[in-house]
Amino acid sequence: QVQLVESGGGWVQAGGSLRLSCAASGGTFRGYVMGWFRQAPGKEREFVASISGSYGGTYYANSVKGRFTISKDIAKNTGYLQMNSLKPEDTAVYYCAVGRTYEIKWRPGDYAYWGQGTQVTVSS
């Protein structure tokens, strides 16, 4: 059973940066897709970014493309989401997730393991 713990959230002014981390235990990222999702109050959970479990390919939601970067360190069993040029509309609880295959996925239902989430608040 893979357990995921996010960290790095917080409060930042618009235009600022944050780096989220996702530490895995009881399993490994190796060979499995990892994704980041977010959920704002009153809204559905939405896809942010995904990184393949094989070739390291990445895929981003249009709303974050060019501002966010997803990565992972297999040796540390940790995934990351670097968020730059943050906007107030990026405010949400951010979740990391790991799937059961290596392929890029963007639907929450394609992921098997989830962290508890970390709050990101961007003020204008």
pLDDT band for 23, please (50, 70, 90 cuts). very high
pLDDT at res. 4: 97
Query: What is the chain's alpha carbon radius of gyration, rounded to the nearest angstrom?
Result: 13
DSSP tag of 48: E
DSSP tag of 103: S
pLDDT at res. 26: 87
What is the sign of the dihedral through the CA atoms of 79, 67, 115 and 6?
A: positive
Q: What is the mean pLDDT of residues 84-113?
A: 96
pLDDT at res. 28: 80
Task: Tell me which H or E stretch contains 99.
Answer: strand 92-99
What average pLDDT does the chain have?
95
Higher-pLDDT residue of 30, 43? 43
The token pair that represents 30 in the structure block: 């190796």
Integer angstrom CA distances of residue 85 from 13, 31, 89, 106: 9, 31, 11, 23
